[in-house]
């Protein structure tokens, strides 16, 4: 993903030059449509969208229903792209979304305009080419948000109706897709800040589920007591289940932390076996997805970094410590990865993409046991990074397939 300065200027679309447009459109008609679609499926999605908007022939080709699955198969077998959410509140500037094209470990940054000129205040998650975006609802004394399901490259959005609001509430959302049911769902967990314990809260108001494409939120009762207060959004979507690291009990040496999941098909909470570590009692764990498997990363005493991978989902014995290293940053001086570091994804070449607390993107090569800071032109100073597989499918059409 190293990109030299000015990489954006190096990418030239022939359709940008008016003198070439007629020639391009004429040449396109000389090739069989199947070959044209195969060629287009190999292009970066930003080039495809530009081609669609600058050429009548391009618009017709990219509207072909055979192209989206061909494109999906290609991007599924390449390095994940990235969605960046700029959250630098100190800059007193609007929140912003960016896209990083990550083909063949090279990258460029593209700004994404939120739909309907809304001000995004949170990126809930990305899934199957769709983003779940959160917008604040103005008015009232409680914290509440409106949601949009958005394909940034097709430009279509599906609005999620507002959920019930409660006095002194706080809330978190999760977003995901279950392959068995073919449904996209949003999970909302809300709690009353003024309640002294979980029994004081109306249990029917605490967990709600919305299936994208329907019209109403459904109440699911109270969450496990471990998730009742001040919880964070889920960190990993694996096998159609959202996952959190949270308190599951009290041991001799203090609080015991474990993994709680919410299964999107049956809509139930479960405790997932955690890695067989000596002490799974620290908040220094974070969850991610590596090659389709649930993984748990742990910073050990600020001196060592372990990444565990669950090779067979829900099977405790399948946890494997796949990566273990002393996390030194490259550069003029050595610095440790902090507890705020996160594992983003695995790259096609076997390296692991990491993000540190200062929002640098770093690749780790487990074979050579070395790190590399990725230099990407246009990268914002502070951001949250999520893996993202872009899609040419309409957001509305994608959701209608599940109904």
Q: State residue 367 phi and psi, 5-degree precision.
A: -75, -45
Half-sphere exposure of 101 (CA within 13 A, CB side): 19
Alpha carbon dihedral 57, 59, 64, 65, in 10-degree steps, equals: 170
How is residue 398 annotated by DSSP? H
Please, where in the chain does CATH 2.120.10.80 lie?
A: 78-400
Residue 104 to residue 109: CA distance in whole angstroms = 15
Half-sphere exposure of 22 (CA within 13 A, CB side): 2
- For the entire predicted model, the pTM comes to 0.82
The pair of structure tokens assigned to 320 is: 């494997």
The pLDDT profile of the chain, 403 residues, written as one tens digit per residue, is: 444 444 333 333 333 434 334 434 546 667 888 998 998 888 888 888 888 888 787 888 888 889 988 998 888 877 889 999 886 656 555 678 899 986 544 567 888 877 765 677 788 999 989 999 988 776 554 556 789 899 988 888 888 988 877 666 778 899 999 999 989 999 998 876 665 454 544 544 578 999 998 889 998 888 877 775 557 789 999 999 999 988 777 666 666 778 999 999 999 999 999 888 755 555 567 899 999 999 998 877 666 788 999 999 999 999 999 998 876 554 433 454 554 568 999 998 899 998 877 678 888 899 988 888 888 888 888 888 999 989 887 766 655 544 3
How is residue 207 annotated by DSSP? E
Q: State residue 45 phi and psi, 5-degree precision.
A: -65, -30
Q: Give buried/exposed letters for 325-348 (b at 16+ CB in 10 A, else e).
A: bebebeeeeeebbeeebbbbbbbe
Cβ-based neighbours of 175, under 8 Å, separated by 6 or more: 124, 125, 127, 132, 149, 184, 185, 186, 187
Half-sphere exposure of 135 (CA within 13 A, CB side): 19
Alpha carbon dihedral 291, 296, 302, 304, in 10-degree steps, equals: -50
Round the CA-based radius of gyration of the chain to a whole number and report it: 22
Please give the pLDDT value at position 320: 95
The yes/no answer on whether domain 78-400 falls in CATH 2.60.40.1180 is no
> In the chain, what is the straight-line distance between the N-terminal and C-terminal CA atoms, in Å?
38
User: How far from 329 is each of 4, 305, 340, 341, 373, CA to CA, in Å?
Assistant: 21, 12, 14, 12, 8
- Strands (E) located in 87-182: 96-100, 109-112, 122-127, 130-136, 145-151, 156-160, 169-178
Please give the pLDDT value at position 300: 73
Any long-range contacts for 22-26 (C-beta under 8 Å, 24+ apart)? 24/55, 24/57, 25/55, 25/56, 25/57
Closest CA to 180 of 244, 118, 97, 239: 239
Please give the pLDDT value at position 124: 92
Residue 177 to residue 387: CA distance in whole angstroms = 15
Whether 375 contacts 3, CB under 8 Å: yes
SS3 category, 76: helix
Strand 319-325 and strand 304-310: the pairing is: antiparallel
Please give the pLDDT value at position 127: 92
In total, the chain counts a number of residues equal to 403
């Amino acid at each position: 993903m190293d990109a030299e300065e000015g990489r954006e200027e190096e990418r030239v679309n022939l359709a940008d030059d008016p003198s070439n447009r007629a020639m391009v459109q004429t040449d396109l008609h000389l090739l069989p449509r199947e070959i044209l679609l195969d060629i287009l499926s190999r292009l970066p999605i930003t080039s495809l969208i530009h081609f669609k908007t600058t050429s009548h022939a391009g618009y017709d080709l990219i509207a072909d229903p055979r192209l989206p699955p061909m494109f999906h198969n290609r991007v599924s077998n390449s390095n994940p792209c990235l969605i960046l959410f700029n959250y630098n509140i100190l800059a007193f500037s609007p929140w912003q979304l960016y896209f990083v094209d990550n083909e063949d470990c090279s990258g460029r940054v593209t700004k994404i305009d939120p739909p309907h000129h809304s001000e995004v205040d949170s990126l809930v998650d990305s899934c199957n080419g769709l983003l779940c975006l959160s917008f604040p609802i103005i008015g009232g004394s409680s914290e509440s948000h409106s949601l949009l399901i958005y394909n940034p490259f097709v430009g279509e959005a599906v609005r999620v109706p507002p959920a019930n609001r409660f006095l002194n509430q706080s809330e978190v959302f999760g977003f995901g897709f279950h392959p068995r049911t073919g449904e996209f769902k949003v999970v909302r967990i809300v709690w009353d800040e003024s309640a002294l314990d979980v029994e004081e809260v109306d249990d029917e108001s605490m967990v709600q589920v919305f299936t994208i494409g329907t019209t109403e939120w459904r109440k699911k009762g109270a969450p496990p007591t471990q998730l009742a207060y001040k919880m964070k959004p889920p960190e990993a979507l694996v096998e159609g289940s959202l996952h959190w690291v949270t308190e599951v009990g009290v041991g001799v040496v203090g609080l015991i932390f474990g993994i709680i999941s919410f299964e999107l098909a049956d809509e139930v909470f479960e405790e997932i076996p955690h890695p067989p570590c000596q002490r799974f009692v620290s908040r220094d764990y974070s969850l991610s997805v590596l090659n389709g498997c649930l993984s748990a990363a742990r910073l050990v005493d600020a001196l060592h970094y372990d990444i565990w991978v669950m090779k067979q989902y829900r099977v405790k014995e399948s946890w494997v410590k796949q990566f273990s290293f002393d996390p030194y940053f490259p550069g003029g001086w050595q610095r440790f990865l902090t507890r705020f570091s996160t594992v983003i994804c695995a790259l096609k070449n076997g390296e692991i993409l990491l993000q540190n607390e200062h929002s640098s993107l770093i690749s780790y090569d487990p074979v050579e046991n070395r790190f590399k800071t990725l230099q990407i032109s246009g990268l914002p100073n502070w951001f949250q990074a999520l893996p993202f597989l872009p899609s040419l499918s309409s957001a509305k059409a994608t959701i209608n397939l599940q109904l």
